[in-house]
Chain A
Amino acid sequence: MDTTSTSRKAFLSSIITTGLALAGCAPKKDPFELAAGEHAKASGEKVKLLSVDGEVIEVDKAFLRPVPEMPAVSNSEERRGIPGKKFVMVIDLSRCKNLRFCEKACNHAHHLHTGLNWLKVYPMDEAEHTAPYWEPTMCMHCDEPPCVKVCPVDATFKRQDGLVLIDSDRCIGCRFCMAACPYSARVFNWEKPDTLTAEEVCQPYSCETSVPQKVGTVGKCDFCPDMARKGELPHCVSACPNGVYFFGDLNEDSVTNGAETFRFSELIRDKAGYRLMDDLGTKPSVYYLPPVARNFPFEKGLENDNEKS
């Protein structure tokens, strides 16, 4: 009786395993577990380490192994946000010359399908006698996000730290949010992303890394909260050699582009910061500094533009 039930269980689990393998995804292994046949033998060579309790301990070198990627944050934590934070971005238009390193870094980090961009740099030319300038845009992480209002299944949501993120495991692909977003920030996966490796396709989706993107669901800039958890800057911020992007926390009233750090309120006050289409009432979390006293003439950026418009 007992044996049959165990063998049935084994049989079932073998079916499940084969099923997963057939689908191209192997079941997840505990990263801390030793691989089969791997046995560490003491080498006699000791290293000194600081334990979590602050004590100095000695460990044999053979027992050391690299720390695996930290286990992912749970979905409910991802939906709640990082406590005590309120993320903001400031974009200094006077520094931008359409280099688009930001765009490349973003596409690379999120393994976006070729040709899709979450971050876009527009040549803005408001009217006949106004001066053109380069304007990078991404998701504005609105405080009154129209996209979140219309999502029927809570696939896109607003967190307490101000971020608007997408759960690709929930999204039904109705594209209502794309119609609702006035900033054209949302990008749809019309086909299977071609940049994902077989391993990435199998990894569970995380709302904070937005990887892996899935066919038939919507994607957009996520402000890289996974980097924030590690205490690092979003990919676009660190990729820009001209220091166009400043990222920070409204609660701490500070923003930085890696090299320079400012008080957010002073920066906005001194440089007359504003938000894009603020009249719509979306209350964006991205602020712009007007393109005055520019570092580069507008024409400089045309070299990097694929499209002569």
Chain B
Amino acid sequence: MKKTVLTDEQIISDLLPKKFGKWGMAWTGVLVVICLLGMFAYYRQLRYGLIVTSMRDYASWGIYISNFVFFVAISLVGSLITAVLRLTGVRWSTPLTRIAEIIAVSAITFGAIIIIVDMGRPERFYYLFLYGRLQSPIIWDVTVITTYFFISVLLLYIPLLPDMKILLAGKEKKGIYRFYSFLGSFWKGTHMQYRISKRAINILCITIVPVAFSIHTVTSWLFATTYRPGWDSSNFGAYFISGAFLVGAGAVSAAMYVFRRFYKLENYITPEHFDKMGKIVVMLGLLYLYFNVNEYLIPYFKMKKSEEAFLNGLFVGEFAPLFWSAIFGGMIIPMIILLFPRGRTPYPMFICGTMIVVGAWFKRYLIVTPTLLHPFLPMHNVPESYKHYFPSWEEWAIAFGSLAGALLVITIFVRIFPIIPIQETLTEHHQKEL
């Protein structure tokens, strides 16, 4: 596969975390500024109430909720790359596991945060544990998301331990060293420890699959358990999961390109990886397309009265430009590009991945908002602002702040830890040489 013969020392020095360059600094700075803006907007929301948002009685959920769905969707990738591929014995994905896992952890963290932001009474958050009622899908969501978070953190942490030993080697005993040694000094790399960690990872990989399916299914049930046109669908769980797999794979494709380019990982993330990821994206895209047909065209065939205005709004009305852009830009066009081998090379993959992620974000918006703006009873005798929804600057700032926050977590993680598992790469390298 690789022409150049890599020595162990070179692999290690290639993969060790690197200091931020000029661009790294600028990037981090921009993210911090966006986060601060988001925090300021949230301060205003706490002070004046949800009135600072554009949500009103009809559009009672807005981009906070669609952002939440987006985060949950993207976090599903952790289980796809790590667990599904690992369990099916796919070896080529090793360099991608940690990228996928950190995306999952930071996305699910910010998903949880954004839900608290959406609450009218965030200071009563603990009531969910004090007075929680099992019959509410929100409680199911809280349960599975917490579980998913912990499993994902463990799946990130345990494979990191052997690398921690490498990180600790030849470091001065101060600053970041303390942090590494706090996290992983107990790892001696004994045979026993390897056995235990291997078993633990296997168990986690198996448990994370049903939990991952539940987080997104339950999130879809927040909508599907209501009567509203566009949400009242028995197809919703599968539709959400297929969409989540697509956006997650898109995010990994884009991230692969970025890490490879800026961390000079050409020897580790190879064109072969892009080619294989590209094929996976196409397959997931087809799956998502299938569920979209089910979700939109079948109701359109029947055209029930309650759904008529909603569907027309999406296909030809107010939301049509956004809807078709999301369908074509976020699903069909990337899929067509990736059908060609030239399309599955790094740069086009980056473009396609980004298109899928952006399209997916707007698709989530289209799942939440149009439905709420088409209630069963007409909207009458309410202020004009109740009949439309366009997020206020506070909402944009908070939504982008949370996205920037998630990226910031990933950026800092990459600054501290190797993004490609060093030990596993070494082991595989040795196996290949034999």
Q: What residues of B have a CB within 8 angstroms of the CB of A149 in the complex?
A: 135-136, 225
Chain A residues near B128 (CB, 8 Å)? Answer: 152-153, 172
8 Å CB contact of A309 from B132, B222, B372, B380: B380
Nearest to A151 among chain B residues (CB) is B136
Partner-contacting stretch, out of B53-61, B76-84, B171-179, B311-319:
B53-61
Q: Which residue of the partner chain, among A180, A190, A192, contacts B226 with CB atoms under 8 Å?
A: A180
**A307 pairs with B380, CB closer than 8 A:** yes
State how many angstroms separate the Cβ of B42 from the closest Cβ of chain A. Answer: 14
Contacting residues of chain A (145-187) with chain B, CB-CB under 8 angstroms: 146, 149-154, 170-176, 178-180, 182-184, 186-187
Complex interface: chain A residues within 8 A of B49 (CB): 189-192, 215-216
Query: Across the interface, which residues of B come within 8 angstroms of A173, CB to CB?
Result: 50, 119-121, 124
Residues of B within 8 A of A115 (CB): 382-383
State whether B56 touches A217 (Cβ < 8 A). Answer: no
- Taking the complex as formed, is B131 at the interface, i.e. its CB lies under 8 A from any CB of chain A? yes
CA distance A108 to B428 in the complex (A): 75
Alpha-carbon separation in the docked complex, A190 to B394 (Å): 14
A-contacting residues, B189-215, CB 8 Å: none
Given A153-B133, A175-B61: A190 touches B56 (CB 8 Å cut-off):
yes
- Pick from A117, A122, A151, A174: contact of B378, CB under 8 Å: A122
Chain B CB within 10 A, most for which of A137, A188, A277: A188
> Within 8 Å of chain B (Cβ to Cβ): is A86?
no
Q: List the A residue with the shortest CB-CB distance to B386.
A: A115
B225–A150 CB distance below 8 A: yes
- CA A115 – CA B135 in complex, angstroms? 33
Chain B residues whose C-beta falls within 8 Å of the C-beta of A124 in the assembled complex: 378
Q: Which of B121, B127, B130, B222: most chain A CB closer than 10 A?
A: B121
Q: List, in ascending order, chain B residues with CB within 8 A of A187's CB.
A: 57
Q: Is the CB of A172 within 8 A of B127?
A: yes
In the assembled complex, the Cα of A40 lies from the Cα of B50 at a distance in Å of 51
A152 to B58, CA, bound (A): 21
| Contact indicator A122/B372 (Cβ below 8 Å) | no
Question: A183: which B residues are within 8 A, CB to CB?
Answer: 376-377
Chain A residues, Cβ within 8 Å of B118 = 174-175
In the complex, chain A residues 26-72 whose Cβ is within 8 Å of any chain B Cβ: none
A306 in the interface (beta carbon within 8 A): yes
> Which of B125, B222, B226 has the most CB atoms of chain A within a 10 A radius of its CB?
B226
Closest to A167 in B: B131
Are the C-beta atoms of A190 and B136 separated by less than 8 Å?
no
- Tell me the minimal C-beta distance from A171 to chain B in angstroms: 7
Which residues of chain A are within 8 angstroms of B53 by Cβ–Cβ distance?
A: 190
CB of A85 within 8 Å of the partner chain: no
Q: How far is the CB of B90 from chain A (nearest CB, A)?
A: 39
Cross-chain contact A182 with B136 (CB below 8 angstroms): no
In the assembly, what is the distance between CA of A121 and CA of B51, in Å? 25
Task: Please give the distance in Å from B85's CB to the nearest CB on chain A.
Answer: 35
User: Which A residues touch B136, using CB under 8 A?
Assistant: 149-152, 176
A interface secondary structure, majority: loop
Q: Who on chain B is nearest to A123 by CB? A: B380
Judge if B227 is at the interface, Cβ distance under 8 Å: yes
- Cα distance A174–B133 in the bound complex, in angstroms: 14
- Does A184 contact B133, Cβ atoms closer than 8 Å? no
> Which residues A104-148 have CB closer than 8 A to chain B?
115, 117, 120-124, 137, 146
Q: A154-B133, A182-B376 are in contact. Are A305 and B138 (CB under 8 A)?
A: no
How far in angstroms is the closest Cβ of chain B from A231? 32
Contact of B48 with A179 in the complex, beta carbons under 8 Å: no
Docked Cα-Cα span, A151 to B135, in Å, equals 8
B364 to nearest A CB, angstroms? 15
Q: Are A153 and B377 in contact (CB under 8 A)?
A: no
Contact A190 B133 (CB under 8 A): no
Contact A153:B119 (CB < 8 A) given known A176-B138, A184-B377, A187-B57: no
Interface string of A214-249 (1 = CB under 8 A from B): 011110000000000000000000000000000000
- A293 proximal to B (CB < 8 A): no
In the complex the two chains form, is B381's CB within 8 Å of A216's CB?
no
- Quick one: which of B250-267 are within 8 Å of A by CB? none
Q: Known pairs A122-B381, A152-B142, A182-B227. 7 more at Cβ < 8 A?
A: A121-B381, A124-B378, A151-B136, A172-B119, A176-B137, A182-B376, A187-B57
Residue contacts A-B, CB under 8 angstroms, 30 given: A115-B382, A117-B381, A120-B380, A122-B377, A123-B378, A123-B380, A149-B135, A149-B136, A149-B225, A152-B133, A152-B139, A153-B133, A170-B124, A171-B120, A171-B121, A173-B121, A174-B120, A175-B60, A179-B223, A182-B228, A182-B376, A184-B375, A188-B56, A188-B120, A190-B50, A190-B55, A191-B49, A217-B120, A280-B227, A306-B381
